[in-house]
Structure 1
Amino acid sequence: MVSFPSPLLTLTLLIQLLSQFTTLQASLLDPTSSNSSSVSCNQVEREALVHFKAGLKDHSRRLSSWFGTDCCSWAGVGCSKKTGHVTKLDLRNPYYPYSNDQLYHLQNSSGAAAFELASLGGKINPSLLDLKYLSYLDLSLNDFNYTPIPNFMGSFTKLSYLNLSSSNFVGLVPHQLGNLSNLKSLDLYSSNSEIWVSNLNWVARLSSLKYLNLGYVNLSLASTSWLSVINMLPQLEELHLPGCELDQVPYSLPFVNFSSIQVLDLQVNLFNSSLPQWVFNISSSLVVLNLRGSGIGGYTLNDIDWGYFCHMQTLDLSSNEISGEFDKFVSSLCKCDNNISLQVLDLAYNNLGGQIPESLGNLKNLKSLNLVANPISGSIPASIGNLSCLEELYIGTKLSGTIPESVGQLKELINLSLEGNWNGVISETHFQSLENLKTLVLSSWNKSLQFDVSRDWIPAFSLQHLYISYCQIGPNFPQWLKTQKELRSLSLVKVGISDRVPDWLWEQTPQLQNLGFYNNRLRGKLPKSLEFAPGATVDLSSNLFEGPVPLCSRVTSLSLRNNSFSGHIPENIGLKMSTLEYLDLSKNFLSGAIPLSMSKLKRLQGISLYNNLLSGKIPMWKPLTSLSVLDFSKNNLSGTIPSSICSHPSLDILKLSGNNLSGNLSSLQNCERLSQLGLAGNQFHGEIPNWIGEKLSNLAILSLGGNMFSGNIPENLCHLSNLHILELRHNNLSGQIPTCLGNTLSSYMEPYYSADPGFHPDYRNDMELNVKGDIHEFSLTLVLVNLLDLSNNNLHGEIPKEVTNLSTLGTLNLSWNHLIGNIPEKIGNLQNLETLDLSGNHLSGTIPPSMSDMTALSHLNLSYNDLSGPIPSTNQFTTFNDPSIYEGNPKLYGCPLPTNCSTFNRHQQHESQDENAGDDKMLWFYFHLGMAPGFVVGFWAVCGTLIVNKSWRHAFFRFVDQMRDRIWVTYAVTSARLLEKLKATRMET
C-alpha cells in the first residue's frame, strides 16, 4: 500500500521550499551579499546566529538549514562577498495568505493555518549585537506574542533597513531607534494597534530616512508635533502613517523641507480639516496621495487646481466629506493636456455631484476608477470605452440611463461594478472584449435592466466572482453560467428566475466560496448532500425550494429561510456540518424534534428555527461557547425551559415565543448576557420574577405577552437601563403601573444597537409586536422599535405622569385595563410616539391639548372610556378621521363625530327633558306595579287572621259595630245642632 505524507508535513515542506526560494531570490537581487561566499563565515557571527535561533520557536522548521560551519549558506542569511561578515538577515514569513503573489497564496482554508505555522516566535536574543556589520534586518510577518521591541535594536549602527512590521510587537517604541543614523527604511507597521510612541523626536535624528511606515502605531501623543518632525527628513520619499490616531494636521508650514516626497499616506486618521496648503508645495513630486477616511474633508473639490498634480499616479480621497462636481474636477485634471499620469482615482463615499463627463475618456492612463456612494447623476458616457488601460471600474448610486456598449471595449478590465438605476438591455456586445474580466457586479435598483443574451452564448471571460441583483435575467436559469468553470462566488438576487437549478450547477459547488440565490422563485428539490469550498456561505432564502433539508458540508453559514422545506431536520446535521457557524431554517414546514446532534456544532454562533412545525421538548445541549443567538419561536415545542439553556456562555438573544412552553422562568437566572428575551405566546404562569431586573441587567428587549403571568409588575424591571421594548400584553397582571418605568427609562429608552451583533447579516431578527392596532412582524428594523405594551391586563389606578418622560417612545399601548383618571397633561412630550392606544379603560376628563403637538402620531385609539369635551381640531388631529377611535365616549364632541359643541348642548337639554319625562313614567309604572301585591298582602294579613281566629273575629266585629254606632250618634247630634242654628239665624233676619 502506498502511504502519503500528512497534510501538515506537506505544508511544512512547502514552507521550507518557499523559504529557500525567498533566500535565493534575495541573494540574486542583492549584489552585496552571498550565500556561497568563498570567504568563510565569521565564527563569532555564526555563534551569535546559533544563540539567536535557540531563542526562537520554529514550528515549520524554516531554519532547519542553520547547521554546519558556513552560516552564509543558511536560509535568510546574507554575507559580504569580500569579508564574509553577515550583512543581511531576512526572516520575513515567506507565506502571506493575503499576498497577490500566487506563489505564496494557496487560496484554501489552510491559508491562515499555514501562515501561523510559518511564523517565527519566541525571544529575540541580544546575541544579534555581535553582527557588527548587519545592514539589513527583516523580521516581519512573524509572531513574537505581544512582546516589546527590544531596546538594543537601536545599537545596529550600520543598519540601513529595518522591518519589524506585523509581528505582534506591543508597547512603547524604543527611542533608541533614533540612533540608527544610517537607516534609510523603517517599517514598524502594526497589525494589532497595541504599539505606541510617547513622541517622535527620535525620528528627527534619522536624517537619511527615505521610507517610513508607522502604520497603526498609536501616535496620538505626538499629534501636535508629528509634521514638524517629518519636515526634518529632507530625503524622505515615502511616508505611511495610516490609522495612527492623529487628530491634528497643520494647515501650513513656514517652509517645506521634505519636498522630495513621492508617497504620502495619511489614511484612516482623525483629522478634521480641509486639504492642507503644504500639500500643494509638494504636488510636483507627489506620485501617491492617500487620504482615505482621514477626516480631511468639508471642502469643495472644485476649489483646488488639480492641474498642479500632473505627476500624480494614485489619488485616494474616499470616505471623507468632500463635495463638488465631478465633471468640473475632471476638467481641472485635463489641464495637464497629454501629461496626465493618473492611474488610480478613488473618490468613493463622498458628496460629489455633477455628472460623468465625456472628457473622462482623456484620462488614458487610468487603471482604477471608483465613484460609488456619491450623488453623481446622469449616465455613463460612451467615452468610457477610451480608457484602454482600465482594470477596475466601480460606479454606483444615482446614475441612470443605459449602460453604453463601449464598456465592452475595455480589454484590460478585471473588476467591473455597475450599480444604479439602469434601464434598457445589456447584451453580449457589452462583454465582447472583456477577456480578462474576473469580477462582475451589476445592480439596477429600479429593476428595469433586462439581460438579452442568447441561450448558447459563450462569454469571452472566465469569472471568479459574479454578483447580479435587481435585474431581469429570468424566468429561465442562465445557461451561460455553465461555461464559468472558475467561479468562486455566485450571487443572483431578485433577478426574476422561476426555474429549477440545473444539475450541472450543483456539480460546481465544491469550488464555490459563496452562493446566493435569495429572493427569486427557484423551485424543486435540492440534492440530499452538497459539498462547498471550505468556509463557504450559502443563502437560498425566499424561494420555492421544497423537500428535505440538504446536508451542506464545509459551509460556515447556511440560510434556507422562507422556502417550503419539510420533513425532519437531519439527525446527523451536527456531524456532517461541523463547521457551521450560522444556520437559518426559519419560515419553512419542518417538523419533528430538534436534533440532539446540533450540540456538536462547536462553532455555532447563531441558529434560527423560527416559524416551523417543530415539536417535542427543547433539547439539553452541551455548552456551545460561541452560541450568541437562539431562536426557536413560533413552533409547537412543549415542556419547560431546560436548565442547560444558560450553559452557553455567549448567549445574547433567546427567543422562544409562540410555543406551548410552561412552568416558571427559574432556569434563566444565569443567562446574564441576554440582551433580548422573547417568551410571548406560551403558558408560563406565576409572578414575573423580581430577579429579571437584577440578574438580566443587559436586557434591551423583554417580551412576555400572551402568557398567564399574574401579580404586580415588579419594580425591579426599572433596573433594566438598556430596555427599549417591554411587552407584557395579554396576561393577568394587576396592581398599578410602576411610576419608575418613566423615571428610570427616560434617558435610556433609545434605539438599541448591539455593539456585537453576534450573528451573520443574513440572519433576520424576527419578532412579532402589536403596533398600530395590529400584529406586525419586525425583522431588520427591530433595533429601531421603542415600545411599551401593557394592554389586556387587570391594571388599575392612574396613568403615571412619569410615562411622559419617555421622549423616544414609539408605541404606548395601555388598552383594555381598568385605568382611571385623566390622560396626563404632558403626554405631548412624547414627540416620537407613533402609536397611542388607551382604549377600553375608565379614563375621564378632556383630551389634553398637548396631544395636538404629537406630529409623529399616526395611530390613535381612545375608544370606550369616559372622556368628555371637544376633540382637538388642529395639527395631527386633522388626520384622525375615523369616528371609531372615539366611540364609547358619549361626552366627546367635535370632528369626526357627528356632533359639534352647539348640537351637543341641545342634545344635552333634550336628553335632560327626556330623562325627566322618563322618570315620571317610570314612577307611575312602579306605583301601579306595587299596588297589586300590596293589596293581596294587606287583604290576607287582616282577613285571613279573622277567619282563622274566632275570638279576634268577634272582637273585630264588636269594634266595627261600636264604631258604626259612634259615627251615627255623632252625625245625628251634629246635624241637629246645625239645623237649630240655621233656624235661629232666619228668625233674626
Structure 2
Amino acid sequence: MTWVSFTNAANWLQDLNALPHVQEIELISCDLGTFPRSLSHVNFTSLTTLDLRGNYINSTIPDWVFNITSLEFLYLGGNDLHGFFPDSVTKLTSLKALDLSGSVFQDGFMQVTHISNLCKLQILCLSSLSGSFPDWLGNIKNLKSLDLSSNSLCGSVPASIEDDLANLSSLKSLDISYNSIYLNKSDDWIPPFQLNGLYMGFCQILPKPHFPKWLRTQPTLDELYLSNAGIKEAFPNWLPSGLRYLYLSDNKITESLHLSHNNLSGQIPHCLKSCTELATLDLGHNNFIGNIPTWIGESLLYLKTLSLRSNAFTDMWLFIKGSELEYTTRQLSMDTLIDLSNNYLSGNIPEELAALNFLNHLNLSYNNLSGRIPNGNQLQTFTDSSIYAGNPNLCGPPLTKNCTLNIAKAGEEEQNEDSSKSRMETLWLYTSITLGFIIGFWAICGSLLLQQTWRTSYFRAIDNMFDKLYVMMVVTVAKYKRKL
C-alpha cells in the first residue's frame, strides 16, 4: 500500500496483526509518523517482509518487532529512529536483509553481541548513521551487500577489523562513500572481495589515494563509483579489464561512469571504448590532456551526458558520426548534454555541430575557440551567451561581437601568409638550383683534378669517341658519293 496515507489510521498495526497469514507488509511513504509502542500479542506468525521505509517515524524501535522471528526482510530506513543500536536484532535468525539507514543511534555502532546469529543476513544497510567503524561486521560471514555510506566514519580502522573484513568472502557490493577512512594496510584500500559494486565517492582514502590494483581481479564488477575519492594517478588501462560495461549510476537505471573531481592525468584511456552502453561519462575536473578521442562519438552510441570540463584538452573534434548514425525515436527524446568547458580547445567550432538535432545542453565556455559560431536550427535555440563565454575570438549570434571585422582581418592575414609562403618557395627554388650546380660540377671536375688515372681514362675515352665519330662520318660520306 505504498504512498497510501495512514495519517488518520491510528489502529493500523492492530488491524494488520489480526491477519495471522499475512506474509508481506509494505507501507512505504504512508505517513505513519510513529511506531505503536506495544502489542498485546504478536500474531505475525507468517510475516517474512516488513517494509516501513520513508514514514518519518520518530521513535525507538519497539521490542515487538524483534519478536517476529519469521522475518526475512526488515526495512526501516528513511525514518527518524533513535535510541540505542538494537542488540535485539540478533533474535531474527532468519533475517536476510536489514535496512536501518537514516537512524540516529546513541554511541553510533555499538558492540552487538551474538551478531553471528544472523548467519543468513546478506544485505545490510546502515547508511547515514554516525560513529566509529563497527567492529562486528566481519562476523556476518554470508554478507553480500554492505552499505556504510554517509556515516562520517573517520580515523583509523583497526587492523583487526581489516582482518575480519577479509572474512567476508561472499561480499558483492560495498558502499563506503561520503566518509573519510584511514586504512592501516592502505596499499590497496580494502581486502580483495569479488565485488559487483564498489562505491567510494567523496571518500578520502588515505594515505595512498590510488586505484586499488585488486580491481583487476573483480571479473563480475558491475558498479563503480569513485568521484571525489582523492585519486592522484593516471587512469589505469586495466581498470575495466574483464568488464563489458561499467554501471555507476546511483539510481541503477542508466549505465554511468563518474570519475570527476580527482587528479587523473594522461589521455582518456582507450579501454573505455569497450563500454559501449555508457549513457553518462563524467571525467570533469581532472588533468586529462591531448585530443578528445573520436571513438567517444563512434563507439558510445547511447551516450547522452558527456562532461569533460576543467581538463587540459587542446583539440576539438566532431564527436558524432553524422549521417551514418541513425537515431531512434527513443534516442531523439533523450536530454543530451555535452560539457567541454574549461579546457584548452583551439580552432573553429565544427560546422557539423549545427546539424545535431538531439542536443539539449551545450557548454563550450572558457576555451580558446575562434571564428564564427556555426548557424543551425538547433544551435540558434541556444541563446544563452554564457555557453561561449571565455572564448574572446568567437563571434556571431548569440554573441554581440560582429564577425565582419574579424573576417577582413583574417583575410588580410591569410593573404600576407600566402605572399610570405610564395617568397619562401621562390627562394628555396633558386637555392636548390645553385646547390645542385655546385655539387654536380665539383663531383665531376674535382674527381678529375684529384685522380691522375681518372683523368687519363677520361681523356682517352674522349679521344676514342671522337675517332669513332670521325671514321663513321668518313664511311658515310664515301657511301653517299658512290651512290651519286
Normalising to structure 2: TM-score of the pair? 0.68
The 2-side partners of 1:448 and 1:506 are apart by 23
Pick the aligned partner of 2:27 from 301, 307, 317: 317
Pick the aligned partner of 2:389 from 667, 680, 705: 680
The alpha carbon displacement at 1:578 in A equals 4.0
| CA contact 1:579–1:603 (8 Å) conserved in 2 | yes
| CA contact 2:228–2:260 (8 Å) conserved in 1 | no
Instruction: Give the aligned residue type for 1:681.
Output: G
| CA contact 1:620–1:642 (8 Å) conserved in 2 | no
Instruction: Give the aligned residue type for 2:205.
Output: I
The alpha carbon displacement at 1:345 in A equals 0.7
2:85 matches 1:380: yes
The alpha carbon displacement at 1:674 in A equals 5.8
The 1-side partners of 2:223 and 2:341 are apart by 28
Matches within 5 A, 1:6-405: 291-293=1-3, 295-301=4-10, 305-306=14-15, 307-323=17-33, 325-328=34-37, 331-332=38-39, 335-337=40-42, 340-401=45-106, 402-404=108-110, 405=112
Instruction: Give the aligned residue type for 1:654.
Output: L
- 2:318 maps to 619
| CA contact 1:591–1:615 (8 Å) conserved in 2 | yes
Instruction: Give the aligned residue type for 1:600.
Output: E
- 1:466 maps to 174
The alpha carbon displacement at 1:318 in A equals 0.9
Gap change, CA 1:444 and 1:628, over 3 Å in 2? closer
Gap change, CA 1:675 and 1:374, over 3 Å in 2? farther
Partner of 1:353, secondary structure, is: coil
Partner of 1:634, secondary structure, is: coil
Matches within 5 A, 1:504-903: 504-530=213-239, 531-537=241-247, 556-569=255-268, 576-601=274-299, 602-619=301-318, 621-623=320-322, 625=327, 626=331, 628-671=336-379, 678-683=387-392, 688=397, 708=401
- 1:810 maps to none
The 1-side partners of 2:272 and 2:189 are apart by 36
The alpha carbon displacement at 1:364 in A equals 1.6
- CA deviation string 1:98-145 (max 9, x = no partner): xxxxxxxxxxxxxxxxxxxxxxxxxxxxxxxxxxxxxxxxxxxxxxxx
The 2-side partners of 1:338 and 1:298 are apart by 24
Instruction: Give the aligned residue type for 2:336.
Output: S
The 2-side partners of 1:536 and 1:679 are apart by 32
Gap change, CA 1:403 and 1:309, over 3 Å in 2? farther
Gap change, CA 1:416 and 1:574, over 3 Å in 2? closer
Question: Which sits farther off after the overlay, 402-411 or 415-424?
Answer: 402-411
| CA contact 2:227–2:262 (8 Å) conserved in 1 | no
- 1:802 maps to none
The alpha carbon displacement at 1:582 in A equals 2.5
| CA contact 1:637–1:659 (8 Å) conserved in 2 | yes
The alpha carbon displacement at 1:584 in A equals 2.0
| CA contact 2:225–2:258 (8 Å) conserved in 1 | no
Which structure 1 residue ranges, 5 or more long, are not aligned?
1-290, 540-554, 690-703, 711-989
- 1:439 maps to 145
The alpha carbon displacement at 1:461 in A equals 4.6
Gap change, CA 1:359 and 1:675, over 3 Å in 2? farther
The alpha carbon displacement at 1:450 in A equals 6.5
| CA contact 1:474–1:495 (8 Å) conserved in 2 | no
The alpha carbon displacement at 1:339 in A equals 6.1
Gap change, CA 1:709 and 1:363, over 3 Å in 2? farther
The 2-side partners of 1:660 and 1:483 are apart by 45
- 1:957 maps to none
| CA contact 1:652–1:673 (8 Å) conserved in 2 | no
The 1-side partners of 2:168 and 2:12 are apart by 43
| CA contact 1:651–1:673 (8 Å) conserved in 2 | no
Partner of 1:424, secondary structure, is: coil
The 1-side partners of 2:121 and 2:381 are apart by 49
Which structure 2 residue ranges, 5 or more long, are not aligned?
404-484
| CA contact 2:281–2:305 (8 Å) conserved in 1 | yes
- 1:489 maps to 197
| CA contact 1:426–1:452 (8 Å) conserved in 2 | no
Partner of 1:563, secondary structure, is: coil
The 2-side partners of 1:616 and 1:665 are apart by 17
| CA contact 1:513–1:532 (8 Å) conserved in 2 | no
The alpha carbon displacement at 1:480 in A equals 8.9
Gap change, CA 1:633 and 1:600, over 3 Å in 2? same
The alpha carbon displacement at 1:658 in A equals 0.8
The alpha carbon displacement at 1:620 in A equals 6.5
| CA contact 1:653–1:675 (8 Å) conserved in 2 | no
2:452 matches 1:452: no
- CA deviation string 1:644-689 (max 9, x = no partner): 1133332111111112223333424334776977111223666645
Question: Which sits farther off after the overlay, 305-314 or 384-393?
Answer: 305-314
Instruction: Give the aligned residue type for 1:643.
Output: E
Instruction: Give the aligned residue type for 1:612.
Output: N
The 1-side partners of 2:308 and 2:170 are apart by 38
Gap change, CA 1:317 and 1:593, over 3 Å in 2? same
- CA deviation string 1:877-927 (max 9, x = no partner): xxxxxxxxxxxxxxxxxxxxxxxxxxxxxxxxxxxxxxxxxxxxxxxxxxx
Partner of 1:351, secondary structure, is: coil
Instruction: Give the aligned residue type for 2:215.
Output: W
The 2-side partners of 1:575 and 1:373 are apart by 39
- CA deviation string 1:667-726 (max 9, x = no partner): 24334776977111223666645xxxxxxxxxxxxxx6xx7469xxxxxxxxxxxxxxxx
The 1-side partners of 2:317 and 2:223 are apart by 32
- 2:120 maps to 412
Partner of 2:182, secondary structure, is: coil
The alpha carbon displacement at 1:367 in A equals 1.4
- Tell me the matched-pair count: 379
- 2:434 maps to none
Instruction: Give the aligned residue type for 2:77.
Output: V
| CA contact 1:356–1:379 (8 Å) conserved in 2 | no
Partner of 2:147, secondary structure, is: strand
Larger relative contact order (C-alpha < 8 A, sep ≥ 6)? Answer: 2
The alpha carbon displacement at 1:579 in A equals 4.1
The 2-side partners of 1:409 and 1:403 are apart by 18
The alpha carbon displacement at 1:377 in A equals 2.4
- CA deviation string 1:504-540 (max 9, x = no partner): 513224321112233333444443343243222359x
Instruction: Give the aligned residue type for 2:67.
Output: N
Normalising to structure 1: TM-score of the pair? 0.35
Partner of 1:326, secondary structure, is: coil
| CA contact 1:426–1:450 (8 Å) conserved in 2 | no
